Structure 1
């Protein structure tokens, strides 16, 4: 073999190793993104599982507030049926709004706020909201690492050929940047 043939073979081997390495790295990052997304879904499901107990507790004190209670149930159902980050974020925003209305009702019933079950449920929901925030941050960090990798050279060449496309971020709901009003 001549020198040119050896150089060509070496280049092909180097490119093959780079391609395999890039592919394996992309698969790993893709699985990380999928795992982080499942944690968001896990925490959203946890919250959705707590909501019926909260609704039933509030129902006992505020039977005539059926519209707000129905809104929470509807929003919970939408969240359960939503697919993908954008749809989940939208359904999550609707559920947050419905829960806010339900909590305003709770403010009007001092006995409800003092109820042991209600307080325990609120503590669980608060903890779950914190877990959701952490899961969303972890997911968005994983998406950022993945999207950066598929756009970086030379991986971007292999990513496009192998079908690795960008992932969606879990974005803040509309109006989340506004400071909430607290009134006593």
Structure 2
């Protein structure tokens, strides 16, 4: 009799564990953490770009002093992009997210103008340091695009989970403080190539 009671208890425990694991309770925090990890990767790639910019500007300054205006724009844009402190709360605050995206967009456009300058200066293209930094910067821009894409995918999954059944039940009860996260969108003017005038 005791053996039957124990077996029944183990069976009930197994059923309860299966029910709880399949109920979706862990889905929201799991997806929220995945989105936050993707956000951290976006920030890492933007920091990498911010770290490369001063080196690129210094290299170009030596060879293209006449383009001081563009170099000044890049320096200001970098300062603007790295000055505000953006943290994990940025992804749930639409205003802070737009500020972050606008600052990064300005830096991206300024860098685009800087990269186009090198096409007009053969001596600049031949500088080994410039070529290496340009390659690093181009690779960083690609990494940023991939990190933003991955972040948007993680946020889409998370935001959808907050709104769909059965996880919406958990979102309204146990995880009521979980807020939808913001997604990256194209920067205003991104559909136009940066214009460089000489």
Matching residue within 173, 182, 188 for 1:174: 188
Q: Kindly report the root-mean-square deviation, in angstroms, between the aligned alpha carbons of the 2 structures.
A: 2.7
2:195 and 2:75 mapped to 1: Cα distance?
Answer: 25
Matching residue within 100, 111, 130 for 2:123: 111
Q: How many residues align?
A: 170
Deviation by residue 1:30-78 (Cα, 9 ceiling, x = unmatched): 1100000000110111111111110000100122322211111111112
Q: Report the counterpart of residue 26 of structure 1 in structure 2.
A: 28
Corresponding residue SS for 1:139: helix
Structure 1's unaligned 5+ residue stretches are 1-13
Deviation by residue 1:88-116 (Cα, 9 ceiling, x = unmatched): 22111100111122223322321001111
Q: Report the counterpart of residue 178 of structure 2 in structure 1.
A: 164
1:18 and 1:54 mapped to 2: Cα distance?
Answer: 54
Is the Cα–Cα contact under 8 Å of residues 77 and 106 in structure 2 kept in the other structure? yes
Q: Report the counterpart of residue 50 of structure 1 in structure 2.
A: 52
**TM-score when normalising by structure 2:** 0.76
1:19 and 1:136 mapped to 2: Cα distance?
Answer: 31
Q: Report the counterpart of residue 64 of structure 2 in structure 1.
A: 62
Structure 2's unaligned 5+ residue stretches are 1-15, 91-96
Shift in CA distance, 164/154, structure 1 to aligned 2, threshold 3 Å = same
Shift in CA distance, 109/179, structure 1 to aligned 2, threshold 3 Å = closer
Corresponding residue SS for 1:159: helix
Q: Report the counterpart of residue 80 of structure 1 in structure 2.
A: 82
Corresponding residue SS for 2:44: helix
Corresponding residue SS for 1:147: helix
Is the Cα–Cα contact under 8 Å of residues 86 and 171 in structure 1 kept in the other structure? no
**TM-score when normalising by structure 1:** 0.81
